Amino acid sequence: QVQLVQSGAEVKKPGSSVKVSCKASGDTFSRYAIGWVRQAPGQGLEWMGGVIPFFDTANYAPKFQDRVSITADESTSTAYMQLSSLRSEDTAVYYCATFYRNLFESWGQGTLVTVSS
């Protein structure tokens, strides 16, 4: 089974961008789609989008369509999520997870992104 390890916590200013990485090990990276889900403090889960590394194709939740970019690098078995035009409401833990059969099976440890002036 694949293991996902994410990059460390970030503190960002409003209006800036953040890029979070998600490195896979333990199985063939290209076998999986990778989804990104965020969780604001004390709140529920929110799907942002995902990527199929083998095809390097991504899709996005309409809410984030204009601000998010999700990519994958098969050579390093790493997926990336970049969110731009950050605002305080984007403060959250961002998770990557393997996406198969339309569900999220193996999760990264999460990356806390804090947006504050």
Partner 1 sequence: DIQMTQSPSSVSASVGDRVTITCRASQDIGSWLVWYQQKPGKVPKLLVYSTSILQSGVPSRFSGSGSGTDFTLTISSLQPEDFATYFCQQSNSFPWTFGQGTKVEIK
User: Which positions touch partner 1 (CB under 8 A)?
Assistant: 35, 37, 43-47, 59, 61-63, 95, 101-105, 107-110
Q: Compare residues 16 and 59 and give the one whose CB is closer to partner 1.
A: 59
Q: Compare residues 5 and 16 and give the one whose CB is closer to partner 1.
A: 5
Q: How far is CA 43 from CA 48, 57, 89, 106, in A?
A: 15, 29, 12, 20
Q: Compare residues 3 and 82 and give the one whose CB is closer to partner 1.
A: 3
Q: How far is the CB of 35 from partner 1 (least distance, A)?
A: 8
- Tokens coding 72: 């994958």
Q: How far is CA 88 from CA 13, 61, 63, 91, 92, in A?
A: 9, 19, 16, 6, 9
Q: How far is the CB of 94 from partner 1 (least distance, A)?
A: 12
